[in-house]
Structure 1
Amino acid sequence: MAFHHATATADDIEDATVSVPRTYAWVVFALTFGLLISDYMSRQVLNAVFPLLKSEWALSDAQLGSLSGVVALMVGLLTFPLSLAADRWGRAKSLALMAFLWSLATLGCGLAEHYEQMFVARLLVGVGEAAYGSVGIAVVLSVFPKRMRATLTGAFMAGGMFGSVLGMALGGIIAAHLGWRMAFAGMALFGLVLAVLYPLIVRERRIAVPRQSKAEARAMAAEGKSPLATLFASRSVICAYVGSGLQLFVGGAIMAWIPSYLNRYYQMGTDRAGVTAAVLVLIGGTGMILCGMLSDRLCRNSPDRKIALAISFCLSSCLLLSLAFMLPPGPLQLVMIALGMLVATGTTGPAGAMVANLTHYAIHGTAFATLTLANNLLGLAPGPFVTGALADRFGLDTAFQLMPLASLAAAVVFFYAKRHYHSDIERLSPVLAVPVGAHS
């Protein structure tokens, strides 16, 4: 679920995009999309080879969890500063450099001789991947008409999920036949090829977009409006950050540990476990899209209903996953896990809508970077580690029974947000006022 940092990072106040040939625009999309797939393949291949690393290096589950969580931690900490650096230095060059770094670091994972070397290599994977989602979607949106932004953003998010699925599935298959080192090498090779092609084809001068005028910014300051202040100006938006992160604790834990769970309790090999886990993750991605569509359809004239739906998604996932992991291994348990995954990611859409509604349009990029930080620091990073630590003490089956309780905490946070949402909107309305033509 670390694919949430690709959401709405392009500057919403831009009224024009660069005029580029449609064919070139689609080439830019294909290459940027391909690198996003490489990003998540390099990130998730580790989960497919957990059993092999545990056996070869005698690692604890907490150590395995830290190898997964450190990537999300680096992404959470570095997304915002590295995105700012890319805007200054050049987005196309930055994306290519990022891809080189995470691909070389992934190759380093395959060459690691012990846990400490693997940990450093995984940390560098996280550094390379930290800002790719935010900068990548900005590049894609800059070469297409504004009317296509929703479609392109959705496709970009799906690319992250598709890359996760491929990373686990192909990683498990390669590891089963050629060893876990070749699984990392295969992911690295794919990324390096695209990293070489990208700067040769995607030129900075053809994707640059106009920025907000300084005159407009000075005028807003003179009127006493402070867009940046809306980042943490309401209880509701803070709850959106925290609630989203707590709910992704569940998704991050399942994505990291479900291959090992299938290996230990279903006696599946790494190849079959990787494919089965990939299907479950893909169901989670489908749920993200379907729940978002449901939220928009049911809550068109009542935005606060989206918060009620977020609460229902949290409670439903807690109930379904708790029941699932109380069942004995078998087809019924897998069906219940799939149903739980379908709604576990459902809060992504409502949380994003809350952040957009409660922050000024001029700082939506910063607001979604903040949401990314919360998602990683509260969910995607600690989820795998805490679950691994619980597994060391109680067993992975018991850890999975306890893990859904994070959804209850998320539901409580969203409930608090719902109580204050309308008053926060009314209080912030003078600052949130959007000039005519600022949005498409």
Structure 2
Amino acid sequence: MTGRWIERWEPEDDTFWRHTGARVARRNLYLSVFCEHIGFSVWSLWSVLVLFMGPAYGVDPAGKFILISLATLLGALARIPYTFAVARFGGRDWSVFSTLLLLVPAGAAWWAMRPGTSYTTFLLVAALAGVGGGTFASSMTNINAFFPLREKGWALGLNAGGGNIGVPVVQLVGLLVIATAGAGHPRVLLAVYLPLIVLAGLAAALGMDNLAPVRGDTGAVKEALRDVHTWIMAFLYLGSFGSFIGYSFAFGLVLQTQFGRTPLQAASLTFVGPLLGSLIRPLGGRLADRYGGARITLGNFAAMAAATCVVLYASLHASLPVFLTGFIALFALSGLGNGSTYKMIPALFQAKALAQGLTAGEAADRGRRVSGAAMGLVGAVGALGGLAVNLAFRQSFQTSGTGTAAFAAFLVCYAACSAVTWAVYVRRPAPAPVRAEAAPVGGEV
């Protein structure tokens, strides 16, 4: 695979952007959305496949939570090498390879999904689905390099939202399979996705580009690793995206385990929350473009805490309508927070570069380089939040038979995220001697 390399790329140059950059960037964005969408669908397969696993499979609810937790964990870990892959291989070439690699977990699930398969085999096959989660890191790192700062909130929000929507889409397809073919035919679901994986890989090969300016840029990764704000943003993204992906994987099982829903009843509700969370993510980026990512993120975490209080009440009183209202609100808010949080990252690093005395062009270049590396690391930590959500649910159901204790833990997490956002990124920076460090992380972010 030789790829197509673009040697000159200057998105902050208005003339270049109008005449050449915008058209090329948007073509790569739309194809990236398609590939990432399929990646998220494959990563989310086991949130649907466990609904097909009736008594004949011999797997209890705790075992099912472990299956989806394992897929979440491997997806988070895969994001680390995927972050580096764009600089090593090129965004287009890596998109082709990583998309076609999805044939492995989808094909393995096709082979394994039948009664009599050992639980150990299910664990191994579920782990393979993690490569779908890795596509987010490389996709966001790649698209970040294509767009100027003024459009990053929208572009990254659309890229991530289009990818995130792979979660509710695979759940909706699963619902259609259960409603038509029945819960005994999980392979029908996989038959839909195997050709789509091939189509996405082919589209990336024919339509995407590699950017030479980001090739071999390992220094950006080292800078991102050393910067404390990479890890602060990772904590905030753990609260927003960790909630989104964790709830997306666990929602159907919670409905079955706590509220006694059948597979068809659970599947008919499972996709609604992730769909809203995915669709609203670009709005979070757009609002952050206009009002500042920190302000939107702070208000969003406060709203997530309020929605969690509603869910806690519903869990204590076994009220399914109230539970659904609060839980779907959590999905929508997590999507909004994903968009605003990711907008903060490139703005933060570019503002820091300006505060250190770099020219506007130099600051834009450094911000683009370092934020691209930081996004993959932030995404990896954020996905680990999904693992924490699923493990919290498993422990809560094992000890009390409900998710109440887990929701109480999530409430504490959102309070902590709100406090950190306010203290580091919203509160007016103090003392002039530290302004070079503080100014970029104030209200401008």
Match of 1:406 among 407, 410, 419: 410
Q: Partner of 2:109 in structure 1?
A: 109
Q: 1:350 to 1:17 in 2, by over 3 A?
A: closer
Q: Partner of 1:351 in structure 2?
A: 341
Q: Secondary structure at the match of 1:160?
A: helix
Q: Partner of 2:6 in structure 1?
A: none
Does the CA-based 8 Å contact 1:246-1:410 persist in structure 2? Answer: yes
2-structure distance, mates of 1:157, 1:425: 37
Does the CA-based 8 Å contact 2:237-2:379 persist in structure 1? Answer: no
1:66 aligns with 2:74: no
Count, aligned residues: 403
Kindly state the Cα deviation for residue 364 of structure 1 after the two structures are TM-superposed: 0.6
Residues 42-62 of structure 1: CA distance to partner in whole angstroms, max 9, x if unpaired? 122321232332523222333
2-structure distance, mates of 1:420, 1:148: 24
Q: Partner of 2:4 in structure 1?
A: none
Matches within 5 A, 1:38-77: 38-53=38-53, 55-77=55-77
Q: Partner of 2:364 in structure 1?
A: none
Which stretch has the larger CA shift, 156-165 or 320-329? 320-329
Q: Partner of 1:83 in structure 2?
A: 83
Residues 15-35 of structure 1: CA distance to partner in whole angstroms, max 9, x if unpaired? 567986988876654443222
CA RMSD across the alignment: 3.9
Q: Partner of 2:376 in structure 1?
A: 369
Q: Secondary structure at the match of 1:99?
A: helix
1:127 aligns with 2:117: no
Q: Partner of 2:210 in structure 1?
A: 208
Kindly state the Cα deviation for residue 427 of structure 1 after the two structures are TM-superposed: 6.5
Kindly state the Cα deviation for residue 271 of structure 1 after the two structures are TM-superposed: 3.9
Q: Secondary structure at the match of 2:211?
A: coil
Does the CA-based 8 Å contact 1:70-1:122 persist in structure 2? Answer: yes
2-structure distance, mates of 1:12, 1:278: 40
Match of 1:170 among 144, 168, 173: 173
Q: Partner of 2:5 in structure 1?
A: none
Name the amino acid aligned to 2:311: L
Gaps in structure 2 of 5+ consecutive residues: 1-8, 354-366, 441-445
1-structure distance, mates of 2:407, 2:54: 22
Match of 1:157 among 157, 160, 163: 160
Name the amino acid aligned to 2:207: V
Does the CA-based 8 Å contact 2:39-2:133 persist in structure 1? Answer: yes
Kindly state the Cα deviation for residue 108 of structure 1 after the two structures are TM-superposed: 0.5
Does the CA-based 8 Å contact 2:84-2:138 persist in structure 1? Answer: no
Q: 1:70 to 1:358 in 2, by over 3 A?
A: same
1:262 aligns with 2:268: no
Q: 1:159 to 1:99 in 2, by over 3 A?
A: same
Residues 150-201 of structure 1: CA distance to partner in whole angstroms, max 9, x if unpaired? 43322212212321111111023224515123323322332133324532x1
Residues 320-347 of structure 1: CA distance to partner in whole angstroms, max 9, x if unpaired? 2222323434434322332333334443
Name the amino acid aligned to 2:35: L
Q: Partner of 2:268 in structure 1?
A: 275
Q: TM-score, normalised by structure 2?
A: 0.75
Report percent identity of matched pairs.
14
2-structure distance, mates of 1:311, 1:34: 29
1:313 aligns with 2:303: yes
1-structure distance, mates of 2:172, 2:266: 8
Matches within 5 A, 1:224-263: 229=223, 231-234=225-228, 238-263=231-256
Gaps in structure 1 of 5+ consecutive residues: 1-10, 435-440
Residues 1-24 of structure 1: CA distance to partner in whole angstroms, max 9, x if unpaired? xxxxxxxxxx99875679869888
Higher relative contact order by CA 8 Å / sep ≥ 6: 1 or 2? Answer: 1
1:190 aligns with 2:180: no
Kindly state the Cα deviation for residue 292 of structure 1 after the two structures are TM-superposed: 5.0
Kindly state the Cα deviation for residue 118 of structure 1 after the two structures are TM-superposed: 2.4
2-structure distance, mates of 1:293, 1:21: 20
Does the CA-based 8 Å contact 2:61-2:253 persist in structure 1? Answer: no
Which stretch has the larger CA shift, 402-411 or 273-282? 402-411
1-structure distance, mates of 2:375, 2:53: 35
Q: 1:166 to 1:365 in 2, by over 3 A?
A: same
